[in-house]
């Protein structure tokens, strides 16, 4: 018994040290955001600011470009979630509840598409967007990522469990397939939508490469692109950078805290059964 | 099944496939085409018949990026995966109130945006005033200049990647561990196996699908490391932390050599496919159980 107790304590200790290391960046970021510029780079560094200040946050909120880019990120990420859910739920429904010619080929294409790394298509995509005139538009940022294979796969797994009799009964009552989707499938999909919405939102909110390439105007930038532009070679406004970064990760943090279980379920549900 | 509208399923999958065709399939084809040309984005692309690939073979910078990227891939498999598994085991056994919180804390780096994370590490690892310097000083070590050192920039990058992805992989292992039926484990105990033996002969084999998944995902991810080197080291010094993805980006969008960059992208794609197939074969995914 004694050796087990020692083992447990050692494990706790190990985990505690590990977590302290892991959380350091977060704590440091928060601490920096409340420091005055003069204290930010003082040595030895301090975790708890000697002079606590809200100045950085005030400046950040006053920064028009910051506010605009925050708004842009919200618009783009929420649109991505909305359209993505529609596309995935339609396709997932088809694969779950219908039999049609070439169904398995189509589904294989969905699975294979998950293996195409983005960097392979980024250049042609950019050129395509130029051709379509979608450079520097929100649509240009959203469109390429709406074909969410993972989402289709996930919706399919979820919708397969819905009893066929339910759909049959609706058809007998004269419902069209579209009506079935809109009025039966969609309401029933709420839990799955919750999971996917979280995953889609987080992934989209954190994107850097594609928005950076597509969006040219300063006023259309997303928050990540804007923050990245602040890490310039010349005068870096650390106050806005720190406070802005905190505000930028806040929605994700809150979302994650609230929907932890769903997000984790969504991520791992596919992997274990395979 | 009585379906009056036979076209319905096709219409339902249409949005996905139209988007897929437009924005993934066609670009892949176009990428193959582009990789055989010289193009700066204006005017017409000029065919140069595999000259890009020949140049790539002789491109010493490209060789460095391949080496670096493989370095990351190997580190992911040999460091991140086992560490994630270890943490999953630890968290799975101690049925404590805190396991949820601990899991959350370990996973948190995954949801932090890469831009913010990179920026913070730039700060923490600063040679002059970073907190790492302070901590090392406390235990009597001198702070090496991590980001300006050719030898250390890569290990530093890998350290940051470990910070970021261990939690993510841990989740998958946890899910896998939790899906192992308890009676199997008990049967092993009854047969006289101790913890270690149970793990090697029972638990680990049952984790095979998850392990495969983690390894393949890590490989694919290793090739896409872009933001961290971009923001933290810029690929330097002397290309020591330049990854394939960053190299591609530089060639395409800074040097405006789209043809050449597409050749790099193609090689990247092929390498990922080959490595994934190799990983699947090695871990026995194709064997029948």
Predicted pLDDT at A22: 92
Mean pLDDT of B274-281: 78
Expressed as residue numbers, the domain containing A264 is 54-273
Q: Provide φ and ψ at B139, rounded to 5°.
A: -100, 20
> Which two structure tokens, joined as six digits, stand for B118?
């990179």
**Which positions in chain A touch B111 (Cβ < 8 Å)?**
202, 206, 249, 252-253, 256
The larger pLDDT score, comparing residue A146 to residue A4, is at A146
β partners of residue B46: B38
Q: Which helix (H) or strand (E) holds B47?
A: strand B46-47
User: Helix, strand or coil for residue B38?
Assistant: strand
Claim to verify: residue A64 and residue A34 sit in the same structural domain: no
DSSP letters for A5-52: HHHHHHHHHHHHHHHHHHHHHHHHHHHHHTS-HHHHT-SS--SS-SS-
Q: How many CB contacts within 8 angstroms connect chain A with chain B?
A: 265
Q: CA of A178, closest CA in chain B: separation in Å?
A: 8
Whether A24 sits inside 8 A of B31 (CB atoms) is: no
The larger pLDDT score, comparing residue A27 to residue A42, is at A27
Predicted pLDDT at A189: 92
Query: Is A176's pLDDT higher than 50?
Result: yes
Radius of gyration of chain A (CA): 24
Whether A19 sits inside 8 A of B122 (CB atoms) is: no
Claim to verify: residue A26 and residue A135 sit in the same structural domain: no
Mean pLDDT of B192-205: 81
Percent of chain B with pLDDT over 90: 16
C-alpha dihedral (B271, B273, B274, B280), degrees to nearest 10: 140
Claim to verify: residue A218 and residue A245 sit in the same structural domain: yes
Confidence label for B288 from pLDDT (cuts 50, 70 and 90): very low
The larger pLDDT score, comparing residue A92 to residue B184, is at A92
**Mutate: best of A123, A130, A162, A263, partner B, most B CBs <10 A:** A123
Confidence label for B26 from pLDDT (cuts 50, 70 and 90): very high
ipTM: 0.87
Query: Is B75's pLDDT higher than 50?
Result: yes
Q: Which of B277, B219, B273, B233 is nearest to B69 (CA)?
A: B219
Of B12, B90, B213, the CB nearest to A90: B12
Only one residue has tokens 């300006």, namely B148
Confidence label for A274 from pLDDT (cuts 50, 70 and 90): very low
Claim to verify: residue A37 and residue A159 sit in the same structural domain: no
Claim to verify: residue A43 and residue A68 sit in the same structural domain: no
Q: CA of B187, closest CA in chain A: separation in Å?
A: 22
Claim to verify: residue A77 and residue A209 sit in the same structural domain: yes
223-252 in chain B: CB under 8 A from chain A: 223-224, 226-227, 231, 244-245, 248-249, 252
> Which two structure tokens, joined as six digits, stand for A147?
């074909």
Question: Rounded mean pLDDT of chain A?
Answer: 88
Claim to verify: residue A7 and residue A82 sit in the same structural domain: no
**Burial class for A268, CB neighbours closer than 10 Å (0-12, 13-18, 19+):** buried
Q: CA of A53, closest CA in chain B: separation in Å?
A: 19
Predicted pLDDT at A271: 63
**Mutate: best of B24, B100, B101, B268, partner A, most A CBs <10 A:** B24
> Which two structure tokens, joined as six digits, stand for B176?
């896998």
Q: Which helix (H) or strand (E) holds B137?
A: helix B131-138
Claim to verify: residue A233 and residue A148 sit in the same structural domain: yes
Alpha-helical runs (H) found in B179-207: 182-190, 195-198, 204-206
Mean pLDDT of B178-197: 82
DSSP label of A273? H
Please report, for the domain that includes residue A226, its CATH number.
1.10.3720.10
Of B5, B20, B119, the CB nearest to A113: B20
> Which two structure tokens, joined as six digits, stand for A32?
């920096």
For residue B90, the chain A residue with the least C-alpha distance is A11
Q: What's the gap between Cα B225 and its chain centre?
A: 7
Whether B34 sits inside 8 A of A146 (CB atoms) is: no
Query: Is A179's pLDDT higher than 60?
Result: yes
The larger pLDDT score, comparing residue B127 to residue B20, is at B20
Question: Rounded mean pLDDT of chain B?
Answer: 84
Claim to verify: residue A44 and residue A78 sit in the same structural domain: no
Whether B128 sits inside 8 A of A271 (CB atoms) is: no
30-49 in chain B: CB under 8 A from chain A: 30-31, 34, 41
Query: Is A1's pLDDT higher than 60?
Result: no
Confidence label for A233 from pLDDT (cuts 50, 70 and 90): low
Claim to verify: residue A94 and residue A178 sit in the same structural domain: yes
Claim to verify: residue A89 and residue A152 sit in the same structural domain: yes
Of A103, A116, A152, the CB nearest to B16: A152
171-190 in chain B: CB under 8 A from chain A: 171-172, 174-176, 179
pTM of the model: 0.87
Predicted pLDDT at B289: 43
Cβ-contact B21, A111 below 8 angstroms: no
β partners of residue B38: B46
Confidence label for A80 from pLDDT (cuts 50, 70 and 90): very high
pLDDT tens for residues A210-228?
999 999 888 889 999 998 8
Distances in whole angstroms, Cα of residue B269 to Cα of each of A116, A133, B22, B221, B222: 7, 28, 19, 12, 12
Query: Is A273's pLDDT higher than 70?
Result: no
Which domains are assigned to chain B?
Answer: 47-282 (1.10.3720.10)
Claim to verify: residue A136 and residue A264 sit in the same structural domain: yes
pLDDT tens for residues B152-182?
888 889 999 999 999 999 989 988 888 888 8
User: Helix, strand or coil for residue A148?
Assistant: coil
- Based on the structure, what is the number of domains in chain A? 2
């Amino acid at each position: 018994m004694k050796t087990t107790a020692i083992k447990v304590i050692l494990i706790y200790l190990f985990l505690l040290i590990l977590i302290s290391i892991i959380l350091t960046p977060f704590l440091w970021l928060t601490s920096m955001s409340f420091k005055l510029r003069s204290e930010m780079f003082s040595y030895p560094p301090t975790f708890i600011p000697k002079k606590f200040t809200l100045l950085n946050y005030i400046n950040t909120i006053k920064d028009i470009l910051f506010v605009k880019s925050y708004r842009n990120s919200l618009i783009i990420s929420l649109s991505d979630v909305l359209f993505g859910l529609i596309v995935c739920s339609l396709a997932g429904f088809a694969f779950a509840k219908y039999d049609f010619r070439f169904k398995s080929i189509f589904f294989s294409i969905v699975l294979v598409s998950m293996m195409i790394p983005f960097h392979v298509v980024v250049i042609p995509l950019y050129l395509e967007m130029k051709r379509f005139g979608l450079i520097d538009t929100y649509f240009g940022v959203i469109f390429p990522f709406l074909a969410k294979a993972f989402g289709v796969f996930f919706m399919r797994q979820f919708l397969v469990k819905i009893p066929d009799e339910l759909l049959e009964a609706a058809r007998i009552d004269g419902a069209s397939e579209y009506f079935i989707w809109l009025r039966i499938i969609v309401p029933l999909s709420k839990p799955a939508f919750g999971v996917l919405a979280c995953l889609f939102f987080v992934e989209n909110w954190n994107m850097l490469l594609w928005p950076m390439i597509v969006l040219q105007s300063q006023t259309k930038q997303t928050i990540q692109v804007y923050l990245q532009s602040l890490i310039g070679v010349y005068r870096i406004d650390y106050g806005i950078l720190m406070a802005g970064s905190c505000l930028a990760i806040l929605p994700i943090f809150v979302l994650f805290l609230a929907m932890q279980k769903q997000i984790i379920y969504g991520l791992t549900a596919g992997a274990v059964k395979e | 099944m009585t379906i009056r509208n036979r076209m319905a399923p096709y219409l339902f999958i249409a949005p996905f496939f139209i988007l897929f065709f437009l924005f993934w399939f066609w670009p892949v084809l176009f990428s193959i085409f582009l990789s055989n040309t010289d193009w700066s984005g204006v005017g017409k692309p000029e065919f140069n018949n595999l000259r890009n690939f020949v140049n790539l073979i002789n491109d010493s910078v490209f060789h460095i990026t391949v080496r670096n990227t493989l370095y990351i891939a190997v580190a992911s498999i040999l460091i991140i995966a086992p560490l994630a598994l270890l943490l999953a085991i630890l968290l799975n056994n101690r049925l404590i109130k805190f396991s949820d919180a601990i899991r959350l804390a370990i996973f948190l780096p995954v949801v932090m945006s890469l831009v913010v994370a990179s920026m913070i590490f730039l700060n923490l690892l600063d040679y002059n005033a970073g907190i790492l310097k302070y901590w090392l000083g406390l235990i009597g070590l001198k702070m090496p200049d991590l980001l300006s050192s050719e030898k250390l920039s890569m290990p530093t990058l890998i350290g940051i990647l470990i910070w970021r992805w261990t939690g993510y992989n841990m989740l998958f292992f946890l899910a896998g561990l939790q899906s192992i039926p308890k009676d199997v484990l008990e049967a092993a105990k009854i047969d006289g196996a101790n913890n270690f033996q149970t793990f090697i002969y029972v638990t680990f084999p049952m984790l095979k699908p998850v392990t495969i998944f983690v390894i393949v995902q890590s490989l694919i991810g290793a090739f896409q490391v872009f933001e961290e080197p971009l923001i933290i080291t810029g690929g330097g010094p002397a290309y020591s932390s330049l990854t394939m993805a960053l190299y591609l980006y530089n060639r395409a969008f800074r040097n405006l050599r789209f043809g050449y960059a597409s050749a790099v992208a193609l090689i990247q794609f092929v390498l990922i496919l080959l490595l994934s197939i190799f990983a699947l074969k090695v871990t026995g995914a194709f064997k029948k159980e």
